[in-house]
Amino acid sequence: MSQPKFVPGSLDHAIFTRKSVRAFTNKPVPKELLKAIVESACRAPSGTNTQPWRVYALEGDAKNGLVNEVCKIHDAMAKDPEIAKEYTDSYDYYPQKWISPFIDRRRQNGWSLYGLLGIDKTQRDKMHEQQQRNFKFFDAPVGLVFTLNTVMGRGSLLDYGMFIQTLMLAARGVGLSTCPQAAWLAFSKIVLSHIKAGPDEMLVCAMSLGYEDETALVNTFETPREGVDTVLSWV
Ligand SMILES: Cc1cc2nc3c(=O)[nH]c(=O)nc-3n(C[C@H](O)[C@H](O)[C@H](O)COP(=O)(O)O)c2cc1C
């Protein structure tokens, strides 16, 4: 992707260098830095300043415990698809019924990523393994879990998106990378129990956070965008 040249440290630099990173180094993220990033994210706007976000940071044993539990179930699901019925997404992040152009973009995204990694449709084991990278937080040192109080309305998800994007840009501003993850939604009950969430909390999504492994092939993945004329109409 040809990127305009932006001044390092500028907001546009953070916007244009942010991408979903799917392989991280083991370099730790200092707690104070993580706190500062979340503090920046808290500056996001929300309807009537409700600030509906709640973030759980998992590192070390706390992260590994969740990873092990979910990977075990994910493996079991591959052997027995009946098990999948016990795990449903915490909310309808994706539509029940897909239509164009969304399904086309989704397919293009998925197959381009797998194509880059040399995985084709027939290689079920490899696909499973790559999908499972999600549940290892792509080896990032920090896994973030975002929850929302179930009393809140759909608008709070709009507020939440702003919070999460602000967090990702703040992270980029200090040289960190992220991958927001809806993949965890299916395992919502395990995630919520692991973080000891209250009965009124639902899982919004999770996120891998850390320093990009710049040697990893998967991180060369580039995603296109529709041209501005497709998005913007003058009335
Ligand atoms: C809310 C949300 C959930 C996502 N869930 C996943 C996920 O579970 N696994 C994954 O690899 N990427 C996930 N992504 C990343 C998207 O695939 C990615 O943002 C999109 O392809 C555009 O690429 P870019 O982020 O590199 O610009 C998610 C993105 C968002 C915003």
Residue 7 has pLDDT above 90, yes or no: no
Tell me, what's the pLDDT at 184?
98
pLDDT tens string 170-208: 999 999 999 999 999 999 999 999 999 999 999 999 999
**pLDDT score at 3:** 57
User: What is the CA(208)–ligand 1 centre distance, in A?
Assistant: 11
- Residue with token string 């992220």: 178
- Of residues 2 and 227, the one with the higher pLDDT is 227
Q: How remote is the CA of residue 109 from the centroid of ligand 1, in Å?
A: 10
Q: Whose CA is nearest to atom 19 of ligand 1?
A: 20
Task: Tell me, in angstroms, the distance from the centre of ligand 1 to residue 235's CA.
Answer: 31
- Residues 191 and 206 sit within 8 Å (Cβ to Cβ): yes
Q: Which residue has the higher pLDDT, 84 or 2?
A: 84
pLDDT in tens, 14-71: 999 999 999 999 999 999 999 999 999 999 999 999 999 999 999 999 999 999 999 9
CATH architecture of 11-94+135-221: 3-Layer(aba) Sandwich (3.40)
**Atom 31 of ligand 1 has which residue's CA nearest to it?**
180
Length reported for the chain: 235
Ligand 1 is surrounded, with C-beta below 6 A, by 19-20, 22, 109, 134, 179-183, 205, 223
Dist. CA 142–CA 57, nearest whole Å: 7
Tens of pLDDT, residues 133-180: 999 999 999 999 999 999 999 999 999 999 999 999 999 999 999 999
CA distances from 168 to 92, 126, 160, 171, 174 (A): 23, 29, 12, 5, 10
Helical pair 60-79 and 124-133, crossing angle rounded to 10 deg: 160
For atom 29 of ligand 1, the residue with the nearest CA is 180
Domain boundaries, the chain: 11-94+135-221
